Every structure is written in C-alpha cells, then in structure tokens.
Structure 1
Amino acid sequence: MIKFILNNKNIATGLPPGMVLLDFVRYHQHLMGSKVGCNEGDCGACTMLTGELKNNELQYRSLTSCLTPLGNVHGKHVVTVEGLNMEGLNPIQQAMYDESATQCGFCTPGFVVSLAGFCLSAKTATAQNATAHIDGNICRCTGYKSIERAAAKVAELMQGRQQEEPTAFAAEKKILPEWFAGIKQRLYALVTELNGQLHSSSATEWVGGGTDVYVQKHEVLQDAAIRFLLDDEGLKGISQKGNRCIIGASATVTELGESPVMQQYFPRLPEYIRLVSSTPIRNIATVGGNLINASPIGDLTIFLLALDATLLFSNGEQKRELPLKQLYKGYKTLDKQPGEQLESLSFELPGKNTFFHFEKVSKRTHLDIASVNSAICMTMQGDTIQDVRISAGGVAPIPKLLDKTNAFLRGKTVNDPTITAAIAIAQTDISPISDARGTADYKRLLLGQLIKAHFFTAVETVFR
C-alpha cells in the first residue's frame, strides 16, 4: 500500500507502485492540470513538488512526474497545480497574468508549480534564483522574457522571509494556501505510521530516480516488482574520510551540488552542476543511476572517470571494489554480476596542486544531452604535468578515458605545442559516430576545443 499526502488529501492506494505519478494524478485522482507532454522529463509540463522531512525540516523539491513512480513518493507530500489554488488567482498565478507570461497555457501549470517550489525553498529571494527554479520548464510561445519578469515578481513576494521557515511564511502571507502550514505535522504522523520505507521482497527491477529507465521501459516497469532505491538511507550520503570522498549510490545530483565536501574541493561545482540536465531532473537523478545506465555521454560518469573513482558493489553477502574505468566493457555492457547492487563510490579529493575542470557542449546550453563532454584532473609539479586524466563522452561506444593522450601529457610542460600535440593524439583515442547530436567530424572538432578549454582554464586559475 502506497501512502502519501496529495495536496491537502491523504492518499492510500493499492495500485502498482511502479505506476508513474502523473498517470495516478490525472487518471485516478482526475486532477488534469499537470500535463502529459514529452514523457521524457524534458518539457516540464508535468512538474509537481514533493515535500519530505529532512533533519527535522520540511524540504520541497520539484520533479518530473512523468518519470516518477508512486513508490518514490511513499510517505511524502505531493503538490500539483490544483493544490496551489486559492480564492481567485494566487500571487504566483497573478504575476504570470500581470506579465502576460502565458499564451496557449499548456506549459503554464508547470511554471507555476516550479515557482511555488522556489517559494518553498530556502534560497535567497532574488530574481536570478527564481528564474533558476524554472530551468526545467519549456515554453514554445512567449520567448521567456515575460516569464522571467513574472519570476522576478515572485521573488519580491519572498523578500521579507529572512530566517522564517519558507512553508510557514508562504502560508502566512497567503502566497500559498494556509493548509501548507500544517503539512509538517501531518508528515510526522505519516512517517511514524509507515515506520520505514517500501521494499519489495521479490524485486525483479531496481529503480533509483527513474529519470532514464522510465524513458526506456515505462510500460514494463508499471507492473513490475520494484526495489525503490531513491530513499534508501543505506545508499545515501556524501562524506569525507581522510583524503577520499565517499558518495552513496542514491545521492542525487542536487545533493552532490549542495554537499559541503564537494563545494570545498570543487570551487566551480555550481557551474558544472548547472550543465547537468535541469532542476527537476537533478532533484531525483541519482549518481549511481548515472553510472549504471552506462550512457556514453553520462555527465557524472565523465566527471568521475577523470577523478579515477572506485565503485563498491554488494550482492548482499559479499562486497567487491571495481575501478570505474573498468566498469564499461562495451556499449551498455557492464562488469556487473546479476544480483549485484552499486552501494557507493569514492575518489581521492584534489590536493592543492591538482586542477579539475568539466566541460560540455550540447545543442541547448541547459536541459540537454551532451554532444561531447569532457573532464580533466591534472596534478602539477611546478610547471610540469605530474599526472593527468582526461575523460570524454560522445566520442566512443563507452565513456572514455583518453589513455594515449594522458600518457603523452605526463611529464610535459603546459604550452601551446604540448596542447596541439595532445589534441592530435586524442583523435587516435576516439571513434565517434554521426548521430542526432552531430557528425563524427564535428565531435572530433568539439573534443579538441574542449581540451583547449581545459588548458586555457588551467592557465587562468593555476599558473597565475
């Protein structure tokens, strides 16, 4: 039995936990405001919010309900656009109306829900932060400027919050319905009643955030016996042990970006994270899922390959460590045994003489899959490269470490001839194909440009 709060209503359903939240809300609760758009997490028309208790605080995140199974909202508060309704337009809807930020209206519920998520977040009330909360919503009519103006108005509504809990402030100021103020206590009662998470004793499928697997086999998963991993506390957490960072397989991309450990050792982390999909996807996409999905262009895979990450697998009885660089045996083929589950991964944190950088090129700057992505981790001894690992995606059937290029660069001085020679050698490391994201020649050109970008950034930050 799946139990959660939907807007202001307690839900208990015996429907399959693999059913996606969007289908449940539209076809079983008859709330039609959330739209069926792409069914791939790209358009944002299906955006909903989930609230859950974290360290005694109520935390809301936006998500794509077209890719979220019911099992992943067990014990949480789900908010649809109908749950934001008040007598007349609420202030978020009014801002959209005042700025002519809606035309055909198909995308509007998603924008309104995402902006409500901003109001329920602890982010500083700035127009920039409000706009960042709608980075997963696409509009084909307005050209976005009117929506950005509406977002700025919503930010103004929240500027008096200071240290007050966002939910209490939004309810008190009638930005959102007053019943939001009582959700925290209702969730306490619900979590106490559930006394643990939902697990299938006969699982045939394991699902993390579902952001890719539900695109691939939506219909298969609806009725499958699923082990839900997203909220498994044994697979969560990001910590530092000595000089290594340890990341639970179910840590989300958002949690990675918010981690104090990651922020300390990767000063440019916010700009890297912004290149990974969109806010609603980052809120549910897991680090482990990105690796096990085995996409040749997985952003976090390329990031972690350059860091020489080590994976920890378990089959329930034995544990096994495996370098990430040895995981991929061919296209979508893994060195992973049946019954094994990825528990965590770890890598050595960069020292003071180590430079790290991540680059990505895609058709859209944000909310898109890479044409080519690349990362570098380079340790310097004076002006000499002591060690280096450059990784690249979109240029081979698997996420690729550029072994020949890395071997050439070790012991070299960083200068124009070295970079030019490295780019030439990199062409022998790769075997791109032409596809929807670019021709093979274009991808070869892109990789060369990204290698240049790595070294130009290194020169600006390390050698000055």
Structure 2
Amino acid sequence: MIHFILNNQTIRTSENSGITLLDFIRENQQLKGTKIGCREGDCGACTVLAGELKDKNTVYQSITSCISPLGNANGKHIVTVEGINLPKKLNWAQQAMTNNYATQCGFCTPGFVVSMIGFALENNKNKTCNDAISGNICRCTGYKSIEKAGLEIEEKLQQKDDNHQISWLIKEGFIPNYFETIPDKLEKLQPEIFEKTGIKVANGTDLYVRYADQMSEENMHLLAGEMALKGISFSKGVCTLGANTTATEINENKKLQALFPKLKQFMKLISSEQIRNMGTIGGNFVNASPIGDMSIFFLALNSTVTIQKENGTERQIPFQSFHQNYKVYDLKEDEILKNISFKVPQANDSFSFEKVCKRTHLDIASVNSAARISLKNNVIMDAHFSFGGVAAVPKYVHKTRAFLIGKEINNQTVKEAAIILQSEIAPISDVRGTSDYKRLLAKQLFFAHFIELFPTKVQLQKLIAS
C-alpha cells in the first residue's frame, strides 16, 4: 500500500506505484484543478507541492506530477491547487493574480498559483517568485502581469515571520489552517518499503517523458527513497554526492557554493525549478544524453563513479569511461550508480560552465562545456575539459588536455589548443544545429572558459582576430 497525505486527506492506495501522480490525482481522486498539458514536465500545468518531514517541519518543493511516479508520494504531503484554497476567499497568490489581471484562458493558472504558494512556503532569501515559476508556461498573458503578481507576493513576504512560518502564512491568508497539522500526521504515517524489483527509476524526469504508459503497468524499483543513494559529504579533500542528489540540492549546498562561486548562475541554466527539484545526477548520467548538463559538469571535475551490485559489492571507475557509445554506458543489469566523487578544488583551481541553446532557460543545449584549470605562475599545471553536443557521448577531450599541461597561458597557447580540440570532436547536424555550427560553438565556449577565468591573460579581441 502507498500511504501519503493528499491535501487534508490521508490516502492508502494499492494502485500500481508506477502510474503517474497526475493520473492518480485527476482520475482516482477526481481533483481536476491539476491540469494535463505537455506530459513531459515542461509546461508546469500539472505542478503540485511535495512536502517531506525534516526536523519536525514539513519542507515543500514544487514538482511536475505528470512525470512523477505515484510511489514517490509515499510518506509525503502532496498539495494540489484544491489543497491551497481558503474557505471563503482567495489565497494571497490567487488574489495577486486577480489584482494584476494575470490570467486569461486560465488553463495554466493553477500551476502558477501552486508554484507561487511553494515559493511562499520556502525560506530562501536568494530566490525570487520569478525563479519559482520558471517551469510554468503561459500562452496568453505575455507574462508581465504574472511577473507583477509575483512582485506583489514578494513584497508581502518581506513581512514574514521566519520563526513561525506556517502560522504566519495561515494568518495572512496564503494557506489553509490544516497545514499546521501536517507534521504530526506525517510522523504517524507508516509508508511501505517497496520491493527492490522491476524497472529502476528515481524521480522519473527522463523515463516518464518517454515511457509513462508502459511504466504505469510495470513493477517499479523506486530508488528515490533509498538513503544510501542520498547526501553530499566532504572527507579528506574529496566531495561525494549520492546518485539521488537533485540539482536543487547541489544548488543549495553551502560548501559547494563556496567551492564554485558561480554555482547558482550555472545551475539556473539547467532545466526549470520543478525539474531541478526532481532530477537526480544519477538519472542524468544514465540518461546518457550527449548533452547532459550534469554529465558535462562532473566530467570536467575529473570525477569517479561508484557502482554497486545487488549483493553489495562495489567498483569504481573514472567517469570519463562511464559513457561508452550513444546511449550505452558501463552499468550491468544487476548494478546501480551509488555515488560520484571528485577532489575538492584548491586555491589555484578555476572552474567554468558554459551552455548555448535556443532559449536561455528551460532548454536543451546545442553545445555545452565545462572546464577545470589549475594555474601556477602563469603555467597550466592541470586541465580538464568536457563538451556536450559534439560526439555520441558527453566528450572529455584528452589530447587537448595533454597539450595544455605545462604550457604558459596566453592567447597563442589557447589558439593552438583549440585546433587540437577540433580534431577530437565529431558533431553531427541535427535540429540543434549543423556540424559546422557546433564546431564553431565548441571553439567559442573553449575560448570563453579562458576569457572568463583569466581575463588578464587571455584577451577576447586577440582570439577573435586570429
């Protein structure tokens, strides 16, 4: 039995854990406010909140229910638009949308409102309401009115009592009274521990886009709840991230923010708020996309992956060798990715991530790239570069690295290395650009790493003029 709370109702269901949360909400529970849009996690019409008990408090995140397996609701508080309605008036997000004429056909509005309430429930001073709705699409309004509604919500939330967050939000009309009872209810839940058989799936942001109908009829080996696959830790100069670590958890980790000062800027280029809350690094790796953002990120960190067999034995391999061919990777039927680790950057290490796509946000890259460069006395002591969209796999460029090590950093060195880079890549023409275009992008992103990291040593104009 799957055991969770849906709005203010405790649910016990024997439905297949592989059906989508969206279908359960709409068809089993007849809660039609959560809309069916793209069924790919892109439009945000199906947005709900998923709350988990942490330190006696419920922590909420927005997710797209159309690509989330029902089984992952086990032990959680799931909130739909019906669950944030107040008895006799509009809640603050609904009222702000009304005040600013931010809805026309209304189809997308429930998703926006849920995302906005999710923003109110967070305690993140560095996030805006626009960030929270980055995964919600509207075809009618042109967004300016929605943005104004978000600003109205932000202004109100400046008065929030962070020490008594839930009670303040109830008092001010953001959420209904029952939210105060949820931590106790979650503590009393007895969620089922599922059998480890069937199709392996974490949070479904890849598999459910392609195989949702098939997954609804199959047995699921749900990985999302396995604690051994979670967490970010640091020990003896090495950072280790469990395969179930989400993009949001990476983005919000204070130690990683200190190591990578532009981490938030990098992560904003990856997917949307809802998908970052769901998508795991392990899932991104085994998706095996040649342009997987997290694969490119961790390749440049010269990472190592730990792979675990069903009997508990483990093996470690360089992440460079994990992807073997298009959609082929070094993982056997009885194995799962356990974690990925990398040496913590030192004072003379610099890291950069670049991505070019048709839209700035919520898009798949035409070409993406990352670089980790170690510099001492103007000499390149070590360097690691990765590129996506230029080969059948996320590409680590060995020859370019070998050429650069021991060289003095200057325009000439970078230009010569770019020539070697071109010999290592083999992009194909597709919907994201021609082969020649991708070769040009790869060169430009390679230059961009040096210009961004070492602007006094490598000059843009001299590189372009060459």
Give the TM interval when normalised to the shorter protein: over 0.9
1:463 Cα deviation (Å)? 9.2
How does the TM-score come out when normalised to structure 2?
A: 0.95
Shift of 1:163: 2.4
The 2-side partners of 1:50 and 1:411 are apart by 50
Equivalent position to 1:200, from 175, 190, 195: 195
Whether the 8 Å CA contact 2:300–2:384 is kept in 1: the answer is yes
2:462 is aligned to none
Shift of 1:6: 0.7
Give the distance between the partners of 1:417 and 1:327, measured in 2 at CA: 33
Secondary structure, aligned partner of 2:150:
helix
Amino acid at match of 2:221: R
Give the drift of 1:131: 1.3
| Alpha-carbon distance, 1:166 to partner | 2.8
The one-character-per-residue Cα deviations of 1:305-335 (angstroms, maximum 9, x if unpaired) are 0111111111133211111111111001111
Aligned-partner Cα distance in 2 for 1:114–1:162:
20
| Equivalent in 300, 303, 308 of residue 297 of structure 2 | 303
Whichever residue aligns with residue 233 of structure 2, its letter is S
Q: CA deviation at 1:291?
A: 0.8
What is the letter of the counterpart of residue 90 of structure 1?
N
The one-letter amino acid paired with 1:381 is: K
Alpha-carbon contact 1:49-1:62 (below 8 Å) kept: yes
User: In the alignment, does 2:365 pair up with 1:370?
Assistant: yes
Partner of 1:247: 241
1:186 counterpart residue number: 185
Number of the residue aligned with 2:119: 118
In structure 1, the residue corresponding to 2:162 is in which secondary structure? coil
What is the RMSD of the two structures over their aligned residues, measured on CA atoms? 1.6
Mind listing any 5+ residue stretches in structure 2 that lack a counterpart? Answer: 460-466
Distance, in Å, in 1 between the alignment partners of 2:216 and 2:350 is 45
* TM-superposition CA deviations, 1:84-105 (whole Å, max 9, x none): 1122322211110111111111
Distance 1:153 1:326, change over 3 A: same
- Contact 1:71–1:198 (CA under 8 A) maintained in structure 2: no
Candidates 433, 437, 443, aligned match of 1:442: 437
Q: Distance in 2 between matches of 1:422 and 1:82?
A: 58
State how far apart, in whole Å, the 2-side matches of 1:156 and 1:308 are: 44
1:131 matched residue in structure 2: 130
Question: 2:223 is matched with which residue?
Answer: 229
Deviations 1:41-85 (A, max 9, x none): 111111100111123321000001000001111010001111111
Question: d(CA) in 1 for partners of 2:294 and 2:310?
Answer: 26
Question: 1:229 deviation in Å?
Answer: 1.1
- SS of the aligned residue for 1:239 comes to strand
Pairwise CA distance, 1:461 = 8.7
Of 198, 204, 214, the residue aligned with 1:210 is 204
1: CA distance, partners of 2:203 / 2:270: 15
Cα distance in 2 for partners of 1:462, 1:187 equals: 56
Count, aligned residues: 457
| Partner in structure 1 of residue 64 of structure 2 | 64
Aligned counterpart in structure 2 of residue 262 of structure 1, from 237, 251, 256: 256
CA distance in 2, matches of 1:175, 1:325: 48
The structural deviation recorded for 1:37 is: 0.9
CA distance in 1, matches of 2:167, 2:448: 46
Name the CA distance, whole Å, in 1 between partners of 2:36 and 2:113: 16
Deviation at 1:175, TM superposition (A): 1.5
Verify the 8 A CA contact 1:372 1:395 in the aligned structure 2.
yes
Give the corresponding residue for 2:97.
96
Q: Which runs of 5+ in 1 are unaligned?
A: none
315-324 vs 279-288, greater mean Cα deviation: 315-324
Alignment of 1:40-439 (within 5 A): 40-86=40-86, 87-124=88-125, 129-190=128-189, 193-194=190-191, 198-201=193-196, 203-317=197-311, 318-439=313-434
Q: Is the 8 A contact 1:17 1:222 kept in 2?
A: yes
Kept after mapping to 1: 8 A contact 2:390/2:428: yes
Residue 306 of structure 2 aligns to a residue in which SS?
strand
Instruction: Give aligned-pair identity as a percent.
Output: 47
User: TM-score of the superposition, structure 1-length normalised?
Assistant: 0.96
For the residues of structure 1 that align with 2:452 and 2:167, how far apart are their CA atoms?
44
1:265 deviates by 0.9
In 1, Cα distance between equivalents of 2:411 and 2:456: 17
Query: Does structure 1 retain, via aligned residues, the 8 Å contact 2:410–2:458?
Result: no
